[in-house]
Structures are given as C-alpha cells and as structure tokens.
Amino acid sequence: MPMSFLSVKVDYIAAVRNIGKLKEPAPTQAAVLAELAGADGITCHLREDRLYTRDRDFYILKEIIKGRFTLQIAPDEELLERAVEVKPDMVTLMPFAGDEAMFSKGIDPDKDADRYAEAAASLGETGIKVCYFVDPESEAVKDAARAKTDAVELNLYDYVKAGTDEDIESELNRIEQMAQLARKLGMKVIGANRLNYRNIRPLVELGVFDGFTVGYAVISRAMMVGIDRAVRDMLELINRSGED
C-alpha cells in the first residue's frame, strides 16, 4: 500500500494563544516541531474573521515550512489576494466562516458554485494547486472536477459521528466510492475533519487516500506527550496500518 502524507493543522495552537491574548504558543513554532517529527506538511485555516490563525502567522509559515504548505480559505476576495501574494503549495477552498454548518458540511455545489469556480481558476492561473473541501457526495465531487481542481478534501464528519457499526460501514462504503470517483476524474484525495488516533485506521485501510489533514487530535495529544510523539504516533497509524 502506498504511503499517505500527513499535514498537521496548527490552528488549535493559535486558538490557545488567542485565549491568553499573548504571543505564545505560536503556530509557527508548532509547525517547525511537527515537520521535525516527520509531518509531510502544515495546514492553516485563514478565516475571514481571523478567529485563530492571523495574517502574520500565515506569512511566517510560508517562510519556514520545508514541506507542503496548505492554506484553507473561503473564496473571499481579500483572502484570495493574500493567497496569490504568498503562494502556498495548495489552497483548499472552504465554506465561509459565517456559515453555521462550516465545521460539519463541505462546499455546497448548489450555492455560490460560480464564485468557487472563479476562485479556483484565478488561483490555478498563478500556479497554486487548488482543492475543494467537499462532502463525500457525487455531485460535490463532480463539481470540483468541473472547476478543474487538483484535489478534493473529503469531509469525514458523518463518518466520525456515526454511532453504530452499521452506520460506520455505510459511511466507509460511501467514502470509498466517492474517493474512487474523484480519482477517476483525475483528482487527488485527502481526508479531513475530526480525525483521531482511533478512527483513522479504517480510512487508511481503504487504500484510497493520498493524504490526511489532522489538527485537533494531534495538538491535543501533544499537550500530554509533546508534538514529536503526537506526530510520530499519527504517522505510524497512517503508514503502517496496511502492514498488519
């Protein structure tokens, strides 16, 4: 089974910093430690309201990250300008921060489809790879393909929240089918949203993901055992699950 990449999302470090209204802990420091531990990349979500990651974090991250740097943004004009200026490796287009469902739902293909497609096109013209954060539904995946995105980040919220073995199996089947559809349409497939050290293994064993974005689970574990151990433990699950 080919190895999948791990991108560590550092927004929750910024959240802790902002609660204390201090300069530390800095998401940039966490990013360096995560990469030293073996993380393949770093992700940050630059929201319109700057609730967690700030512009300064974003600019510094671009300078210090050695691996993949992914920026998550809504197709907001100001944020698109920031992305074009700094040029991360990939931009993942997300729902707007004002959308109450943004943490549980992906981009709605029936809402602002043209706006997302225009954002994808403008980013692509600058050489930035583009990804859509979508629910594992055929129309959403096809909409990403129509926008000529390089990848889809499948929203795994429903899988994570599934309460019974039957529901979990049903979600895994749906995820596998949509991942295969995305691959058939020429896009990379990334898994994200509420992944942790317990629920990621069945996803890895599907063998359909090119990588995973994990934030809260790694950062919360790091508070107990340190970032190095937290990242290495996650990498072991991602890259060795298929060897049992």
104-151: pLDDT as tens digits: 899 998 888 999 999 999 999 999 999 999 999 999 999 999 999 999
Neighbouring residues of 40: CB distance < 8 A, sequence distance ≥ 6: 5, 6, 7, 67, 68, 211
Q: What is the pLDDT of residue 97?
A: 83
d(CA 49, CA 14): 14
User: How many angstroms separate the CA atoms of 209 and 191, rounded?
Assistant: 7
* Coil, helix or strand at residue 130: strand
Q: In the prediction, which pLDDT does 98 show? A: 73
SS3 79: helix
Which stretches of the chain score pLDDT less than 50? 1, 241-244
Reference 149, options 129, 135, 134; nearest CA is: 129
pLDDT of the residue at 104? 84
Sign of CA dihedral 118, 123, 124, 125: positive
Q: What is the mean pLDDT of the chain?
A: 94
**35 vs 43: CA distance, rounded Å:** 12
- In order of 21, 217, 226, the CA distances from 24 in angstroms are 9, 20, 16
Residues contacting residue 20 through CB under 8 Å, at least 6 positions apart: none
CA of residue 123 relative to chain centroid, distance: 17
pLDDT of residue 244: 44
Q: Model's pTM, two decimal places? A: 0.94
Q: What is the model's pLDDT at position 65?
A: 96
Domains of the chain, each with CATH number or no CATH: 5-243 (3.20.20.70)
CA distances in angstroms from 200 to 50, 107, 129, 188, 197, listed in the order given: 29, 22, 25, 18, 6
